[in-house]
Structure 1
Amino acid sequence: MSNVNFEDLGLSSATMQALQQMGFTQASPIQAQAIPHLLEGKDVIGQAQTGTGKTAAFGIPLAERIDPANKAIQALVLCPTRELAVQVNTELKKILQFHPKLNTLAIYGGESIDKQFKALKRGVQIIVGTPGRVQDHLNRGTIKLDNLQMLVLDEADEMLDMGFREDIESILTHAPQGIQTIFFSATMPKPILELTKKYQQDPVLVKMEMKELTVERIEQIYYEVRRSDKFDLLQVVIELHQLNMMLVFCNTKRMCDELVEKLQAAGLGAEALHGDLSQAQRDRVMAKFRNGTSNILVATDVAARGIDVKGVDAVINYDLPQETEQYVHRIGRTGRAGTTGQAFTFVDKRERGKLKDIERYTKATVNRHELPSSGEILKMKHQKIVEDMRQTLENENLEAYNHILEALYQEGYDYTQIAAAFAQKLLAKNEARIKDLKLEKPSEGRSNGRERNNDRSNGRNNERSGGAARGKGNSNFIPDGDVARLFFNLGKKAKVSPADFLGAITGETGLPGRKVGDIDIYDKFTFVDVPAEDAQKIIQIMSRRKIKGKSVNVELADN
């Protein structure tokens, strides 16, 4: 279906009024496909990326099918992160703005549960929440799903990657039989298909074809750069492309903090967004980014789920994402609502294959740009200043500033000298920083000795593993330093898999998947190889967490 107007879908006047207020007239491809089936009460599997309008794809049917006279919970939307839950809830409120008797509530960790108790007592028909907090309310009896009619899993693949499968299944067991279920997911891995088979009845698959992925309006550029030069390159990209508001993605929380510290030291307004921040801290960071107090948001993938900020003119992949699909999620933060955007990706020579995978997946070309010299940057910046001044001379009233020129002219300076002095004042600070930048093209030589030594070390580990269930965090596992082996007190008898450990560790600690090495599962325990520098952090965090609902004890393995 294409070129479908909302007025052709037979929606109520209240919903149509809300859509008009929001400026929506034509349904996006995923909306045009999904809404008719959902209005008929069918179960739906929707495969769509971020930025495609999938919230409205299930939000509009929620508004149409829920009984306003019944104050009980009739719809439940599960989201992987607090940010996404807040965003979805905000979008639903807009759709429901002319349905005065329909109420929605976001519930998530990091917010006072007492506040949520009070809101629930007032009566809400739609709950938008994270799996952990929804399960908490179910355990307390403060949420009852006896009247549930519709259940939505938004970003289902991300929830499973973060280890929420057990919570999701527990929640589904609390729901009545035969309810309408809607699963939206960017990808369709085996665990998603298993859930649909178990909990959906003859679901309709609606899918955006690859050619419809929202990357056509985004200019995609990559630079091949050594890791040690990435920070200098980031400053160059900001200057060269005159970026104002940007999202920078890193794969770890530590890298986010380190990068923000460097950016702030360079006089740039940057803030970090990652899983170690409290909800109040996250709200403050996002408020500063939205109001322009800071113009660079450095985030991890999990923390960035659900953030929706207008006017982001570029996304920068400081680290190449671990999963191919994540690339689309990232760059979809720019070029929204029909506008154009830019995406810059920093790649070292070992990541060329992964970049090719991204191009195959998106069916788009990521154009290589050569590293510019400081002279080239300054030349372009001067050209930009000339253009800006021309625009100012043609469009602005400058009479209020004439007295400054006259005072200097009376002292014997001619107007050319005065203008040059203003240009020097405007450019001097940036020029000094640009001249200090030294970028070198990555060498094409062989991998270093440390990488070869690690390959041999991994080979010895493989030989020692015996009859354990084997798994890899990443087939290209190359740590930045020494490797530590962690001992977990769960094994085969607990029915855990390598994917369970990988999802739990990466989801809870922010460690990228490529930094998780061998995962050897025995009957009653498991060994996991990780970078030695991250071992203590993983032990500290994971010792307070569960894997497949079971508490774990984590410690360094005895060599």
Structure 2
Amino acid sequence: MHSPVPESPSSFAQLAISPALQEVVAELGFRAMTPIQAQSIPLLLQGYDLIGQSKTGSGKTAAFTLPILDRIRVSARQVQALVLCPTRELCGQVAREMRKLARRHPGLQVLVLAGGEPGRPQAVSLESGVHIVVGTPGRTLDHINRGNLDLTTLRYLVLDEADRMLDMGFADEMEKILEAAPQNRQTIFFSATFPASIEEMSARYQKQAQRVTIDEGAVTAPSVKQIVVEINPENKLSALHGLLDQYRPETAIVFSNHKAAIAEITKALGEWGVSAAGLHGDLEQMDRDKVMAKLRNRSIRVLVATDVAARGIDVADLDLVINYDLPLKPDTYVHRIGRTGRAGKEGIAISMATPRERLKIEAIETYTGSSFEREKIQLPKQEKALYQGAAMTTLSIGGGRKDKLRPGDILGALTGEAGGLDAKDIGKIEIHDRVAYVAVAQSLGRIAVERLREGRIKGRKFSVDWVR
């Protein structure tokens, strides 16, 4: 379908959004828009329903958030926008970005509704009034069915990564939520692929939907250097040692298909002096949050994960992805390597393949339309200690968003008179509902814990500890 907008703007400054939002995008350093933003935002500002097709990491969250924030009424403490995402991790990531863009909307409440957290506190938050809900289909529908989530005031409904939600078996939940939402809403689908099931859903639940497709040529990002290393199965651990010694990434993800291998690889990395943590489907949600905070805060260098556990993971500036095991399907390969090579930087993806897996490599090359570089790996004669551990350590503070804690409060406590630390030694600060994570230079971790325990944040005492 042809776009009703004759020409897409190229910079955020050209958008017809409020001065407050213009200030925010300027503060965040947003200048040139990504293709999906340039084509989607003007259509959404005009009120059109939309199907946007582009890959993960293309700037979709800002594409739907800016039009929503431009129209939202903070004075009306009712649910006005609902964003559905396939996983809890992706919900958290979307909510964080929405809050960042809403910094000039004082009092705006964004609530995550996802599994892994008790439902009662979520119900209490809904009762007290929120403006935007970001949720997984299952937990969101559960709150609708229980009468906790009232959609009568809903004006915007976004299905983010709609194809993945369908792949994960959420079709029934998605349709029930679409049917429960008021008719006079704006409905927005974002999807990396456009299967027939999405087309059918669009025909049933959208009105005159505009289609925006970002043609990126090959399925994979051109900014990822793709390498295959042929190795016998019994030499995989040694090969991993050699690759990490050769590339020395600041941050990396190692993918395995087997939960048992996660523990084996993580143990070996620890023995080599590499700070690492494993992520698999059996971890409790709190432990998953800790692992992800440590990776984002750069207090671990390497994450070892299965595909199920890694759904929704987004880490800025990831240097390297290693496929310790080749994925079972070519589209999974694309999801894996799409986590590196973002924001104009070249990423590297290395796949270990056994001699029997040559057909799998050919299938991936056919699917992606690109060829692997073939490299030989020199297996180390003996395994030595590798590069230094992580530069940062992560601390947890027993208070969060529900306690009205903000990143500036924690930074102030660490760098103010009582804390006495230099701002350059403080890294990323993440605020969750009831816990906050802060990265501090490794050498100053003990001092930071002591000062925070002795002092106060916003005049209050909070528990403080290392994230182990």
Shorter-chain TM band: 0.7 to 0.9
1:476-506 superposed Cα distances (whole Å, 9 cap, x missing partner): xxxxxxxxxxxxxxxxxxxxxxxxxxxxxxx
Whether the 8 Å contact between 1:145 and 1:176 is mirrored in structure 2 is: yes
Residue in 2 that maps onto 1:557: none
Matched letter for residue 234 of structure 1: L
Structure with greater proportional helix content:
1
Range moving further from structure 2, 212-221 or 278-287? 212-221
Matches within 5 A, 1:436-515: none
1:249 to 237, 248, 255: 255
Residue in 1 that maps onto 2:138: 132
Cα distance 1:39–1:367, how it changes in 2: closer, same or farther (>3 A)?
same
- How many Å apart are 1:348 and its aligned residue? 2.5
Counterpart CA distance in 2 for 1:357 and 1:54 is 29
2:77 to 44, 50, 71: 71
Counterpart CA distance in 2 for 1:173 and 1:254 is 42
2:309 to 289, 303, 321: 303
Cα distance 1:307–1:21, how it changes in 2: closer, same or farther (>3 A)?
farther
Counterpart CA distance in 2 for 1:252 and 1:159 is 23
Gaps of at least 5 residues in structure 2 are 1-6, 388-468
**Number of residue pairs matched by the alignment:** 381
Counterpart CA distance in 2 for 1:354 and 1:54 is 31
1:229-276 superposed Cα distances (whole Å, 9 cap, x missing partner): 222211111011222321111224333234323333444322111221
- How many Å apart are 1:3 and its aligned residue? 7.1
Cα distance 1:430–1:55, how it changes in 2: closer, same or farther (>3 A)?
closer
Answering whether residue 227 of structure 2 is matched by residue 221 of structure 1, we say: yes
1:312 to 318, 321, 326: 318
Whether the 8 Å contact between 1:49 and 1:328 is mirrored in structure 2 is: no
1:346-403 superposed Cα distances (whole Å, 9 cap, x missing partner): 123343333334334434332111232547xx9xxxxxxxxxxxxxxxxxxxxxxxxx
Answering whether residue 97 of structure 2 is matched by residue 91 of structure 1, we say: yes
Gaps of at least 5 residues in structure 1 are 379-426, 432-559
* Structure 1 runs, 4 residues or longer, greater than 4 Å off: 427-431
Answering whether residue 27 of structure 2 is matched by residue 16 of structure 1, we say: no
Q: Percent identity?
A: 46
Range moving further from structure 2, 74-83 or 39-48? 39-48
**TM-score normalized by the length of structure 2:** 0.76
Matches within 5 A, 1:120-269: 120-211=126-217, 215-269=221-275
Residue in 2 that maps onto 1:6: 12
Matched letter for residue 308 of structure 1: D
Answering whether residue 53 of structure 2 is matched by residue 27 of structure 1, we say: no
Matched letter for residue 171 of structure 1: I
- SS of the residue corresponding to residue 123 of structure 2 reads helix
RMSD: 2.3
Whether the 8 Å contact between 1:103 and 1:124 is mirrored in structure 2 is: yes
Cα distance 1:11–1:363, how it changes in 2: closer, same or farther (>3 A)?
farther
Asked which structure has the greater CA Rg, the reply is 1
- How many Å apart are 1:151 and its aligned residue? 0.9
- How many Å apart are 1:429 and its aligned residue? 4.8
Residue in 1 that maps onto 2:291: 285
Counterpart CA distance in 2 for 1:250 and 1:348 is 14
- SS of the residue corresponding to residue 211 of structure 1 reads coil
- How many Å apart are 1:320 and its aligned residue? 1.9
Whether the 8 Å contact between 1:251 and 1:321 is mirrored in structure 2 is: yes
Whether the 8 Å contact between 1:81 and 1:303 is mirrored in structure 2 is: no
Cα distance 1:22–1:337, how it changes in 2: closer, same or farther (>3 A)?
same
Residue in 2 that maps onto 1:359: 365
Counterpart CA distance in 2 for 1:428 and 1:123 is 56
- How many Å apart are 1:280 and its aligned residue? 0.6
- How many Å apart are 1:216 and its aligned residue? 2.1
1:292-326 superposed Cα distances (whole Å, 9 cap, x missing partner): 33211011223223322234211111222233233
Residue in 2 that maps onto 1:329: 335
